[in-house]
Amino acid sequence: MTEPKLTRAAIVDAAITLADADGLGAVSMRRIAERLEVGTMSLYRHVTNKDELIAAMTDEIGARHQYPDPAGRDWSWRDRVRIAALIDWELYQQHPWVLLTFAVPRYSFGPQGLASLAWLVEGLRALDVSAREATTMAFAVWNYISGASLPVVGGALLTDKRTATDDSNGLRELLDGTPSFPVPPALAELNGAGVGELTSQDLLFLGLDALCDGFAARAGWRATNTER
């Protein structure tokens, strides 16, 4: 790429490609410059520093995985929560490093981050709660999704490169009926029970259902007590 063609978008895209391949720690101005075949200092005319770059990368990933337009759709607030979970679940598996940057507000709340928050808040307002309370609910949803996603992408965050990791572990062996360790009495019924409803994605939606039930119960309790 020649110098006149260098753009902020190209820099951000190159940085995302590096992070996807080798993790966030692999992203440096030097490696981006090498990839784009330009001088390192030329990058600083488009991106002030790495902090600004990470924020731009995070917002760009959000733009590539936008929540769908609800216009003309008969979605309930629970539907929106489930849609957000499906989109973010896939996002984290494609771009594991975003699990880290989404956790840092100065990176995660650019234009796209705010738009995604507004999308969730708009849906949660159907519970007849304030925008502030709907915002706390949206954060609870996001925190749960990211926490549930961590076991799936944690291996990629721990290694320098996104290589496949061995999925064997003590719990899976217990569920398969081949425990390698002594079985605690409280878990005895799980020995050989199989992984049904205990896979990572099963647990994601089971937990979200419970969280949504809590939102609904809290909103209902508040409405009942306000009428008294």
* Reported confidence tier of residue 197, pLDDT bands at 50, 70, 90: low
| pLDDT of amino acid 5 | 79
Per-residue pLDDT of 70-97, as tens digits, reads 999 999 999 999 999 999 999 999 999 9
| Number of Cβ within a 10 Å radius of residue 17 | 13
pLDDT over 90, % of the chain: 75
Does residue 1 register a pLDDT over 80? no
| pLDDT of amino acid 2 | 44
Given the candidates 3.20.80.10, 1.10.1040.10, 3.30.450.20, 1.10.357.10, the CATH classification of the domain at 67-165+196-227 is 1.10.357.10
Per-residue pLDDT of 111-128, as tens digits, reads 999 999 999 999 999 999
CATH number 3.50.50.60 given to 1-47: no
Does residue 213 register a pLDDT over 70? yes
User: How far is it, in rounded angstroms, from Cα 138 to Cα 76?
Assistant: 15
User: What is the arithmetic mean of pLDDT over 178-190?
Assistant: 92
